[in-house]
C-alpha cells in the first residue's frame, strides 16, 4: 500500500497536513481559529490555531471549547488495544504488509470515534462554529453523520495532502469534502464555492 492509499484507508504512522489552498478558505472563514483538536506543532505552523491538542493530549477525553474549531483528524479505521499474549498479525508477523512490530496499549480512535465526538462537542455548545475536512466515503456511518449535520463543500478534484516536509503527497485515490457547523451558511457557500460544489 502506498502513502496516497493510506490517506483513504489506514493512516499507519503517516501524518497528512492540510494543503494551502484549503487552509486559505478556512482562514477566510475563521480569521481566528480557537482550537485544532487533532494537530501537532508542525501542522500548526500553517493552521495557526490558538490552542491545539496533540496525540499526547488524547483529545477525545477533553472538552473542545472555543468559538471556532478546525479539524483534520487522523484517517483510520481504528484499532482496539492489544490483549495479553497478542496474536495480531500487525504486531507479530513481519511478512504482513502492515507489520509494525509492537503491540499497542491504548485504543486507536476510528473515523467514527472522531466524528461522533466532534458532533457531540458541537451539540453540547462547547464550540460555536466548526470546519473539518475528510475524504468522501458516503457508504460509511461517520460520513453520513457529517452529511446530515451541516453544509458541505465537495472539493473539485482530488485533495493532495502535504507530508511532514510540507510537500504534496500526490496520488490520492478519493475526493475530500469540508463540512461546516454553524449559522454562517451563506458565508461558507461564498468562500468555499471557490473550492468545489457546496451542498446541504
Class of domain 3-76+110-199 (CATH, top level): alpha beta
Return the closest-CA partner of residue 71 out of 31, 120, 35: 35
- The pLDDT assigned to 57 comes to 93
pLDDT at residue 80 in the model: 74
Task: Say if residue 9's pLDDT is above 50.
Answer: no
User: Quick check: pTM over 0.85?
Assistant: no
pLDDT per position as a tens digit, 141-163: 999 999 999 999 999 988 878 77
Task: Give the per-residue pLDDT at 10.
Answer: 42
Q: What is the pLDDT of residue 29?
A: 98
Residues 6+ apart with CB under 8 A from 30: 68, 70, 129, 131
Q: What pLDDT sits at residue 105?
A: 73
> Does 144 or 105 have the greater pLDDT score?
144
Amino acid at each position: 500500500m502506498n502513502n496516497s492509499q493510506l490517506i483513504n484507508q489506514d493512516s499507519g504512522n503517516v501524518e497528512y497536513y492540510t494543503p494551502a489552498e484549503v487552509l486559505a478558505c478556512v482562514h477566510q472563514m475563521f480569521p481566528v481559529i480557537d482550537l485544532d483538536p487533532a494537530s501537532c506543532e508542525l501542522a500548526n505552523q500553517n493552521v495557526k490555531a490558538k490552542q491545539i491538542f496533540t496525540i499526547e493530549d488524547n483529545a477525545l477525553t477533553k472538552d473542545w471549547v472555543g468559538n471556532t474549531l478546525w479539524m483534520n483528524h487522523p484517517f483510520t479505521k481504528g484499532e482496539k488495544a492489544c490483549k495479553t499474549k497478542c496474536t495480531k498479525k500487525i504486531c507479530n508477523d513481519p511478512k504482513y504488509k502492515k507489520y509494525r512490530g509492537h503491540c499497542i496499549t491504548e485504543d486507536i480512535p476510528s473515523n467514527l470515534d472522531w466524528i461522533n465526538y466532534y458532533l457531540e462537542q458541537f451539540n453540547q455548545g462547547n464550540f460555536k462554529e466548526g470546519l473539518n475536512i475528510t475524504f468522501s466515503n458516503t457508504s460509511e456511518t461517520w460520513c453520513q453523520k457529517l452529511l446530515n449535520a451541516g453544509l458541505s463543500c465537495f472539493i473539485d478534484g482530488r485533495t493532495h495532502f502535504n507530508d511532514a516536509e510540507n510537500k504534496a503527497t500526490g496520488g490520492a485515490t478519493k475526493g475530500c469534502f469540508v463540512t461546516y457547523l454553524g449559522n454562517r451558511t451563506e458565508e461558507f457557500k461564498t468562500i468555499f464555492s471557490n473550492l468545489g460544489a457546496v451542498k446541504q
